[in-house]
Structure 1
Amino acid sequence: MTPVKRLQLRLSSLVLLGVFVTAAQAAPNFQLPVCGKSSTQWRVSNWKGHNPARAADLNWGSGDADLGKPVAAAAAGTVIKAAYDTNTGYGNNIVIDHGNGWRTRYAHLRSMAVSKGQTVKRGQRIGAVGKSSAKYTFPAHLHYEQIYNGTVRDPIINGVTVAYGTVRYFSAGDCNTGTSTATGTVKTNGANLNVRSGPSTSYSVVGSLANGTKVTIYCQKSGQSITGYYGTSSIWNRIGSGKWIPDAYTYTGSSGFVAPKC
């Protein structure tokens, strides 16, 4: 091999190595995408034959034991999807964009606590484990994908790679409730909406808001079930100290929780 060809080969290798290092450095510090008691061990299975390949399934128990357990954002980012898919098997699924080409997907959820456009923190609760799907019937579990530039990759959790066709176990961490807030818009048939001192109509009226008023939602909790502009919901939104409005009259982009629990 001539000196020129050796130099060209070395430069090509360095370029390829540089691309690889850049991609690796761009990966967020992904945590386990569930949270709860730190003593809880989660089984992460990156099994062959899964669709798409290299996606992982997460389970804590067997059967439907995982149903309703909290799902957490694996890294900070922006929610670019929070919807139920009718043309895929994902069911309720959330996709978070982490920047630099990285995204994560959380599928088959029982419920979703965030909405499109919302910014989330690492470890923030975003939904609950479920078994929703428009195509398949299976026990409750979390379907999880780490995606780089449109390609699903072997998931890296707490710095450990779950290689294709393997199973690893990880301890859950505390849920990061964070201090994030959400925004909403009051929606009625034209009348003003009463603001209550608590999450029920049995609490006193402390004010009113006109139709179309934008509000900051500091936290949410379950209270009296109310039928309003957006159907029936037991979720109430705290918009200030001692100020509550029913989610059934609030547009948030989601029928579930979109802010920390009160």
Structure 2
Amino acid sequence: MLKVRMKKKLRDFDLDVSLSVCPGEVLVLLGENGSGKSTILNLLAGLLIPDEGIISLYDRTLYGGDEHAALPPEERNIGYVFQNYALFPHMSAFENVAFGLRRRKTNSADIQVLVKEILDELGIGHLINERATNLSGGQRQRIALARALVIQPDLLLLDEPLTALDRQAKEKIRQELREELVKSNKPSIIVTHSLRDAEIMGDQVIILAEGKIIWTGRPDELYTRSVISQVPCNTDEYVCFSAIAID
């Protein structure tokens, strides 16, 4: 289980959040640009360090304690899917997925087995030798997810994982991604601007504004409790958070 209570002074505001995510549960972070969503992911991954608080994952302290010690990113065993997927364009799908395993000095025979297994599980085994530049947006998204999952992480972080996909691809991949995250039986956190993402993929939703949690609840409560106002945005399902009404 992930348990978090942390503060971080940022340029425009002070981030102050507490949250918890159980194994197999998907937490969705919603909010405007600059509300602190991606900062939370970077703090959890160890790319940024809180000013105070505690981050624990399966009873292992990643940050905190009497001396506010922070484990480096490579020791946290966290899978991170970045918004642009961060694939190496000159590498094949196999080499991209194998990258984290090689950094951990996994032997070559095990790498061959583990990479093939995860690619097959995600339905992209036939792309194993394709260069990243030859892949579609949906295929790149799956390769990025495979790279995050293959290291058998204790926590999965996904920063706007569907942004690069068109509307039709999003509808198909949302449910598939949800199924893979639940199947992993690890805590997962997704950052998104989309109500539809939260509705389909989330178990719990947190709305952020200027580094503070202003609402938390289930995805189905986003509409029924009139929590946020939805406005059209390029015919997609994004939301405007300037008119939040909490009853």
TM-score by length of 2: 0.25
TM-score, normalised relative to structure 1: 0.23
Larger proportion of strand: 1
Q: Which structure: larger Rg?
A: 1
Write 1 or 2 for the structure with the bigger share of helix: 2
